Structure formats: C-alpha cells, structure tokens
Amino acid sequence: MTEKNRKNSAADIEEHGCGCSCCEEFACEEPAGGDENESENSSEWLDFAALGIGGLMLAAGLLGGDLLSEGQLWLLYGAPYVLCGYPVLLGACSSVRRGRFFDEFTLMGGATLAAIALGEPAEALGVVIFYQVGEMFQERAAGSSRRSIKNLLAAKPVTAHVLRGDALVSMPPEDVTAGMKVLVKPGERIPVDGLVAAGESRVDTSPITGEPVPIYARQGTKVFGGTVNVDGTLTVEASGPFADSSIARVMEMVENAVARKSPTERFISRFAAVYTPAMFGVAFLTAVLPPLLTGAPWHDWIYRALVVLMISCPCALVISIPLGYFGGIGAASKRGILVKGGNVLDAMNEISAVAFDKTGTLTRGVFEVTDVRPAPGVSEDDLERSASAAESLSNHPVARSIQKAFGALPPAGIDSREIAGKGVVAVHEGTEYAAGNLAMMEARGLLKEAESLSQASPEAGGTVVYVAKGPRFMGRVTVSDVLKADALRAVADLKALGVKSYMLTGDREEGASWVARKLNLDGYRSGLLPDMKVTAMAELAGAAKTAFVGDGVNDAPLLAGAHVGVAMGGLGSEVAVEVADAVVLNDAPSRVADLLSIARRTNKIVRENIVMALATKAVFMLLGVAGLAGLWEALFADVGVALLAILNSSRAVGPGPVMGVVEAREGGLPMVGDGR
C-alpha cells in the first residue's frame, strides 16, 4: 500500500467506525499533480518489488525448508517480514498512539507478531504478503470506481485569456467578471459561461452533458464553462466568474454527493463501531476461557483467537458498500446524470411512479410550424404569405414561430392591431389580413369555411391559426410545441421497469390530453398552478412513492417535496437544480429510466456484498473456533472476501441494462400548445 494512501482524514475514518485502511481510501483528496503522480508510481514499484522478493523467499522456505536449519529459516522468513510488514507495524503503532486499538493495522500487526511468538514465522510472512497484495487490488478497484468523477473534476479550466483592448491577459477563471471578453483557442476549455461574441466552432459539451456529439456555436450561442472548444477560435462574453458557471455547480454537487450517505451506509458505520470491539472480546474469550475451564493448551487457543480476530475484520462491509454507491454515482455521471448522494439511489430504488412536468421536460418548449393546410383553390405559398403579413408585427409566441417559418414583412407600411381573445388583424398595401381562432373567422363571416377545414382533420396536434385575406378564407397553419425526441422512449422504458408514468402541467386540457395520448401515459392533470401540483400528484399516484421530473422555478416545490426530485437540465433553472435530488444534464427524459435502472443495480450489488461478507465470516469464524481453519484461511476470509466484495462493487460503474426499448422519431412529435 503506498504512503500516499495512508495519509487520510482521521475524522472520516472514525465516522466509519473501524478505522481500517480500506476506509482511509475514501478520505477526500485533491487531484494529484504531475510530480505527485510520479512519486506515487515510484512508491508502487517499490511495493511491488518488496512483495515479489518476499513471495520468492516464502516459496523458497516452504519448498526447501527441510534443507535449512531453524536459524536459517527464521532469517529467510524474518528479513522479508520486516521488508513487507513494516507499513502494517507502523500503522499499528500509530493507531495505538492515537487510542484506536480496534482497527485493521492493530489487528494484522498483532496477529503476525503473535504468530511469530507461537513459532509460526511462515504464516506471519504469508499474512503480511497476501494482506498487502489484497490492499493493492483494493486500491486499484477503488480507483477505477472513482475515475469517472475524477475525470469530471479534471474538467475545471485553469486559465482564462481576457481581451483588454488589443492586449490578451491571462487570469484564473475565478477572477473573470460579467461582461469581460474571453478568447478561447481551438482545443482549450471554455473557462466561464457566456455568449459567443465572435467566431464559429464546434463545442464538445460532454464534460457536463455526457453527450459525445459536439454542438455548433456561433455569434449569440450560449456556451458553458468546462466544455471544450474543438476547432475554431471563439470570443465569449462572460456572464460571470467560474464560480457561477455550470461546470462549477456540477463539481460542487458531485463533491457533496460523496458526503451524503445512504441509510445502508449509515447503518454499516454504526454496525462496525459496535462489531469490531465485540469481535476483539470474542477473540479474548476464545483465547482465555477454554484453557481456564478445561485445561486445554494455551498455544492452541491463542492461535484460534488470532484466527477469529483476522476473520472478524469488517473491511469487506465498510469499504465495499460505500464503494457500491460511489460506483452507482459514477455510472450515473457517465450518462449525464448527477446524483447528490447514495441516499438518492436508495430512495430512487423505492419509487413505483414518475410524474413529469410537460413544457421543457417532455416537450422542447419551443413553438414551430408543424402543419400548413390551404383552403380549396388556395396555394400553399399564398397561405404562407397571408399568414406572414398578418403576423409580422405581433410579439405573441405563436406569431413569432410563423415569422420564423415564413419570414416577416418590413414593419413600414403595415398597420396591425391585436383583437383580444381572437387574434390579429393587419393591413398591408391596402389589403386586410387576419389570423386567429374560430371566433376571429366567425366575426369575419368565414366560420363555415374554417370549420369545414377543421372537420377534415379533427386531430389538430397543435394551436391552429386560421388565416383570411380580405373576405377570402385562405386556410390554416398549425403551430405546435414539439415532444422531445426521446419522450416516447422515456415512458416506454419506465413501463418496462414496472413504473407508472404521469404528467402534471399548467397547460390547457387540449394540449395535455394530446400529449398523454401520444405517450400512452397512465394519467395526467392539466391547468395546474405550482401549489396545485402537489395535491394532483397525490391524487394520481396514491400512496406510491413517486419521483417528480421538472425543469423550471415553478416546479421547485414539487421537486423538493417528492420522494425523489429530478431536475431536467443542469443548464436550466438554478432553483430547480438546487432543490432536486438528481440532475439530468442533457434534458433527456429517458435518463430517468437509466437512473432508476442504476439505482436498482446498485442496491442489488450492495445487498450481495452484505450477504456474502457476513455469511463467509460466520462460516470461517466457526471453523476457526473449532480449530479447522488457520491463519491462511483467516486471511482469505478477511482480505479475500473484502477484495471479492470490492470487485463486485466495481460492477456498479459498468454499463448495466441497456434501456431504450422504443426508438424516438427523428425530430420529435408535434403536440398541442397554448392557444391564443
């Protein structure tokens, strides 16, 4: 075990309750610099060399012991024992000085010294060698599970190139203020959030969204600190310092997640605090009572007590369980999901229903023209020009989507007025154009024509805008919000996991019912104010433990009050991100099913470790008390089982079940939006 991994926070170790070196690996460390990494690598090579020499000498003693005198054997075993065992003995002395008599160092060091005193130097050497080998494997397994989160922390930008006149000044991203112009060269990380003021480039957003496909950034595009400028030079106008950036919030949430323990972790910590001294008591009684009561040889029962001590070390529980949750958090981060602690994975494992917000969560929240239907005898171009003329000066979201699709006429020469509750009327070059709902068409004497076109396709699929040019009905334009490309997959994946899906929205009944039908939801409520959503969710889900998924400030009360709150978009509402238990960084609702799958997988792995560790230790402890297991078997029951449990925990970082049972349609599905 390297010296670097022995310098840890005593407070963290004491919280676990056993103070073993396994626990120490989870004390928080800053990412090592280059020199520290080189030093650590050199130390690892020295450890490998020492263990290799010790292993060769142990093998030589076991195979050729008959040819050597007793003194030669003691020398053959003693030298590598000191070489390989000094870290354990030093750790034991340090623990005793600090008053920690019940930890792994005192356990292993005391057991090997007692074995030497009992005339078993080969077993003492074997214990320290295989213990150190097990520690090395444990370090590597733990390092693998931490890697995805360390990679995230490595995404922190270190320098910002700020433009001041014609000069370029380098400074820490923390010193950048809002309004500063930052130059970002190809291959560099964007240091702060902001808007592109000049230049064009592709930007790799995977550090914060988990999505491998770069976005194209040009003037006016919002970019985020921690993302990578791929191939062009960008000038970014900062919206604030690095501390306010998206990647800074992400890193803070990840760092805090490690400290938020699950109920299982807290139980194991309390269990270990009682279990370890209790096992020392059992070992003491094993060594003392039989010789006193029956006159049995002290040598035999002291040896059995040593076996019990080695078997009883709770490392397999205390390290593998936090590592399982740590692996689950890492697996989620690989998929662009930030989980704010192991307690969230436990809570997510219990849910049986998910309630979604609609706009911005299941839909993209952007209106688009999704259908153009001219009246008989009218060309599509004439309908589009008439709609453009009518809507050119309107600021309504529906009007802006028509302007974007068909273009807008110059404001000069247009006289426009809004008709409350109906639509808009505009006069251009002496011709009057009207766009609005059926009430607008009725007021112009065109209701029959409009209804005729409406009845031809009753499934509108969006907000319908009817258009007239003078006395003539021109047709209708459908403007819709659009379902996210993976919304259908999100609901289908949850159903495959046995979880019901609901929707809570402030949108009108018309839009909500359309979405519910398209996605095959189990239920929905429409026209809800934020305070009404809590009651509505209770009505829909009953006593079921429910996760709520939302994206806006208005969703914050329900995100905070749900069994699990999932915020859509780490780049969206800061309030929603703050109160949520988990954050989906790429706005994909299908990630909720991925999170549920990860939570279930993590819970299964943790339970496997608990059963495996306790069952194995119980069996070997009985064998040790009965004299059927020696220090070699005890070593397997401690280091071997701990290693198996850690390797099993590392599976939590793996890909897990592949979700996505339903393919999303290209570009998403149109939906009913708010009408005028």
As annotated, the active-site residues are: 357
Are 334 and 210 spatial neighbours (Cβ–Cβ below 8 Å)? yes
Query: Where do we find the tokens 């076109």?
Result: 453
Are 195 and 236 spatial neighbours (Cβ–Cβ below 8 Å)? yes
Q: Which of 486, 497, 489 is nearest to 348 (CA)?
A: 497
3-class DSSP state of 401: helix
- What is d(CA 449, CA 617) in angstroms, rounded to the nearest whole number? 83
CB atoms within 10 A of CB 174: 12
- What is d(CA 390, CA 399) in angstroms, rounded to the nearest whole number? 9
Are 57 and 79 spatial neighbours (Cβ–Cβ below 8 Å)? yes
Find the DSSP H helices in 420-508: 438-443, 447-455, 487-496
| Residue 137: partners with Cβ closer than 8 Å, 6 or more residues away | 643, 646, 647
- What is d(CA 387, CA 378) in angstroms, rounded to the nearest whole number? 13
- What is d(CA 29, CA 26) in angstroms, rounded to the nearest whole number? 8
**How many CA atoms, within 13 angstroms, populate the side-chain half-sphere of residue 508?**
11
- What is d(CA 36, CA 225) in angstroms, rounded to the nearest whole number? 27
Strand 194-198, strand 222-223: pairing: antiparallel
Q: Quote the tokens at residue 340.
A: 């704010």
Q: Which of 279, 340, 345, 280 is nearest to 570 (CA)?
A: 340
Are 612 and 644 spatial neighbours (Cβ–Cβ below 8 Å)? yes
- What is d(CA 157, CA 159) in angstroms, rounded to the nearest whole number? 6
Q: CB burial class (10 A; 0-12, 13-18, 19+) of residue 63?
A: exposed
Helices 342-350 and 263-294, packing angle to 10 deg: 100
- What is d(CA 584, CA 549) in angstroms, rounded to the nearest whole number? 9
Amino acid at 376: P
Q: Quote the tokens at residue 605.
A: 């792995």
- What is d(CA 324, CA 310) in angstroms, rounded to the nearest whole number? 24
CB atoms within 10 A of CB 39: 15
Strand 546-550, strand 523-525: pairing: unpaired
| Residue 452: partners with Cβ closer than 8 Å, 6 or more residues away | none
Phi/psi region, residue 341 (left: phi>0; alpha: psi -120 to 50; beta: rest), is left
